[in-house]
A and B are shown apart, each in its own frame.
Chain A
Amino acid sequence: MSTTFVIKRSLLYLAVAVVVLVSVFPFYYAIITSFATGTALFKPAFWPQAFSLVNYEAVLTTGSFPQNFLNSVIVASTVVVLALLIAVTAAYALSRVQFRGRTLMLLTILSVSMFPQVAVLAGLFEVIRFFHIYNTLWSLVFSYTIFTLPFTVWVLTTFMRDLPIEIEEAAIVDGASPWVIITRVFMPLMWPALVTTGLLAFIAAWNEFLFALTFTASNSTRTVTVAIALLSGSTQHEIPWGTIMAASVIVTVPLVVLVLIFQRKIISGLTAGGVKG
């Protein structure tokens, strides 16, 4: 081993260390803050100084945080299931059947996912009031469709396009209808893609803020993102950092765990939406 090689390797590992540190430190710091209370909270330090569950107790027993958490789970799961149901059949039509205007339709779907959300805010508000679902979880399930549906359709279409034609031909020869082809032939092959797109759509819905802020107005209907943004102390100048960090950790840990478990699938899903498109 030459010296230049050793120097190069050391520099590489130094760069790696910096990348990992910068990526993970804020979350690490939020975790140690969430375990600190009282004066320990106001003595910044890089290492954990205290271990107390008081903040978690406060978040989970006072206020509406558990309800908000449940709301987020309900909204994100419902919107993902609905989006996938609609998207699977649509993706079949868009990827396996030749028809005029298909490219145009795909481009339209892609452009909907590029919409600035604020551009439809006024109109959505009117529709939501018209359906009498303002300040209910349905308003969020409804409005989140604008970003979950185009995304799931797009990714599932690119996935289905790559499936070999032979599988489908065999089913057609056996006289299978398109519906049977989707449910019996494609679905078993597609579950990894469904899990990935579903997970990505779930994360997007879980993290959404603008619609949740605009279309809900009471503690019992808010989702976690809005709840955390609006967490405040008894006085205006007394921001409860400990509780905010505890709530943040509770909200983030499930996502981080899911992402780390499914990281390979997520990376391929993210890049399928980007590079191939």
Chain B
Amino acid sequence: MTTETISQGNLVDAKRYRSELQATRLRAAGVFLIPMLIALLIVAGWPLARSIYFGFTDATLDSMYTGAKWIGLENYLSWITLPSGKTFFSGILADPEWWNAVWNTLRFGLVSVALETFFGMLIALLLNSTFKGRGLVRAAILVPWAIPTIVSAKMWAWMLNDQFGIINLALVQLGFIDRGVAWTVNPDTVMTSIVIVDVWKTTPFMTLLILAGLQMIPTDIYEAAKIDGVHPLKVFWRLTLPLVRPALMVAVIFRLLDAMRIFDLVYVLTPNMKQTETMSVLAQQNLFAFNNFGYGSAESTLLFLIIAVMTILYIWLGRVNLGGSAR
């Protein structure tokens, strides 16, 4: 009897102790999270909300404090119909410069991420095989990643210089071109220049993420395939690619989202070129260079929406495909 009551009492005590402990931990967790939540609220949440708000106003850099007027959707789209029956559209959605920037950003994002995935996969496969000096190669490919984007833009601007650039020199000596191309000024080649520098700079990131995925694949699968005499290309398509796919997807999403917001490379390598002007560049210029604070805010809000929708779409489509390949 007595022993039972004691052990029961102990049990109750233990339970109470545990729930007290859980409560202390929960309280501590709350306290620990507050600084981060406050920080994120004032550097991210509130500024985002204010940017969206400014998009509905006619704010300029001066009037944003004295009171910007609420103009509804006018920054996005508005129209007036003249007595003659002609309708004129204005606003971002009717602005050819905006659509040009959208197209530039999309084109840049798709082409550069596709190339980065291709080269990243090749280099990752290379680094996943054993050879002497592998550590050295891994160190070497980290160099482009470590160099600040602004610095790489300047380095490449110098290498791509029309008169004194080493690339033109090499191309002329090899006989590909007769005389130097003004890579960063010529409307036909500016986008190519941007893509080249971005691919050079960010392929390492892609490579490392894919390599991490490759290294998680157990080696005995490859040995089994080798014993069965499966062609290496078939091994890649049927084994490696499906197995590395989750890592690849994450890497592609990361890079694509990053590419959609590109600013610094374009701003420094090909300033004031309509052929490379991206959404971020256009919005920043409207905000701070052309003093169209409201209009620029609306553009940045649209960019935010585009990226949000793309993220959701990509994850959703990816999941559908993953389910499909699993069957």
Chain A positions near chain B (C-beta within 8 angstroms): 9, 12-13, 15-16, 19-20, 22-24, 26-27, 29-30, 33, 41-46, 86-87, 89-90, 92-94, 97, 99, 105, 108-109, 111-112, 114-127, 129, 142-143, 145-146, 149-150, 153, 172, 177-179, 203, 206-207, 209-210, 213-214, 224-226, 228-229, 241, 244-245, 248, 251-252, 255-256, 258-260, 263, 266-267, 270-271, 274-275, 277
| A20: chain B residues within 8 A (beta carbon) | 136-137, 140-141
Question: Smallest Cβ distance from B121 to chain A, in angstroms?
Answer: 13
Question: CA separation between A86 and B35, bound complex, in Å?
Answer: 6
Taking a contact as CB atoms under 8 Å apart, the answer to whether B140 and A24 are in contact is yes
Given the known inter-chain contacts A24-B143, A228-B150, please indicate yes or no for A214 contacting B164, CB distance below 8 A. no
User: B102-135 toward A: CB 8 Å interface, digit per residue (1/0)?
Assistant: 0000000000000000000001001001010100
**Chain B residues closer than 8 Å to A12, beta-carbon distance:** 126, 129, 131
Contact yes or no, A124 B47, CB < 8 A: yes
Does the CB pair A97–B143 fall under 8 Å? no
In the assembled complex, the Cα of A158 lies from the Cα of B260 at a distance in Å of: 27
Q: Shortest distance in angstroms between B69's beta carbon and chain A's nearest beta carbon?
A: 16
* B33 to chain A: closest residue by CB: A93
Interfacial chain A residues near B143, Cβ < 8 Å: 23-24, 27, 256, 259
Judge whether A119 and B300 touch: CB under 8 Å.
yes
**B250-A122 in contact (CB<8A):** no
- Report the separation of the CA atoms of residues A256 and B143 in the bound assembly, to the nearest whole angstrom: 6
Q: Are B39 and A145 in contact (CB under 8 A)?
A: yes
**Interface presence of B77 (CB below 8 A):** no
Chain B residue at minimum C-beta to C-beta distance from A102:
B29
- Residue of A109, A263, A275 near B209 (CB, 8 A) is A275
Q: Are A119 and B304 in contact (CB under 8 A)?
A: yes
B138 near A90: Cβ-Cβ < 8 Å: no
Residues of chain B within 8 A of A118, CB atoms compared: 261, 263, 279-280, 283-284, 300, 303
Q: Which residues of A contact B40 (CB under 8 A)?
A: 108-109, 112, 146, 149-150
- Give the segment of B49-57, B88-96, B316-324 that binds chain A: B49-57
Q: Cβ of A111: which chain B residues have Cβ within 8 Å of it? A: 311
Q: Which of B5-13, B154-162, B187-195, B234-242 contacts A (4 or more CB under 8 A)?
A: B154-162
Partner of B142, one of A16, A207, A225, A263: A263
A90 with B146: CB separation less than 8 A: no
Most buried by B among A109, A143, A229, A244: A229
B99 within 8 A of A: no
Which of the residues B47, B131, B169, B247 comes within 8 Å of A120, measured between beta carbons? B47
Chain B contacts of A150 at CB under 8 A?
40
Let me know if A209 and B155 touch, CB within 8 A: no
Taking CB atoms, residues of chain B closer than 8 Å to A123 are: 46-51, 54
> Nearest Cβ distance between residue A213 and chain B, in whole angstroms?
8
| B164, A44: Cβ atoms closer than 8 Å | yes
**Can you name the residue of chain A whose Cβ is closest to the Cβ of B38?**
A86
Q: Which residues of B contact A92 (CB under 8 A)?
A: 29, 32
Task: Name the B residues within 8 Å of A43 (CB-CB).
Answer: 164
The one of A46, A143, A251 in contact with B148, judged by C-beta atoms closer than 8 angstroms, is A251
A87, B169: Cα distance in complex, Å:
50
B227 at the interface (CB under 8 A from A): no
- Hey, which chain B residues are within 8 Å of A207, CB to CB? 148-150
Across the interface, do A90 and B33 meet the contact criterion of CB distance under 8 Å? Answer: yes
Q: Which residue of A lies closest to B260 (CB)?
A: A116
The residue that A90 contacts in the complex, of B36, B152, B264, B267, with Cβ under 8 A, is: B36
| B166–A23 CB distance below 8 A | no
Q: Collect the chain A residues with CB atoms within 8 Å of residue B32's CB.
A: 89-90, 92-93, 178
B36 touches A149 (CB 8 A): yes
Chain B residues in 8 Å Cβ range of A24: 140, 143
A118→B260 CA distance, assembly (Å): 11
> Which residues from B are CB-within-8-Å of A30?
151, 155, 158
Q: What chain A residues lie within 8 Å of B39 (beta carbons)?
A: 86, 145, 149
Least distance between A33 CB and chain B CB atoms (Å): 6
Q: Which residues of A contact B65 (CB under 8 A)?
A: 129
Q: Is the CB of A23 within 8 A of B48?
A: no
| CA of A271 to CA of B48, assembled, Å | 29
- Nearest A residue to B151 via CB reads A248
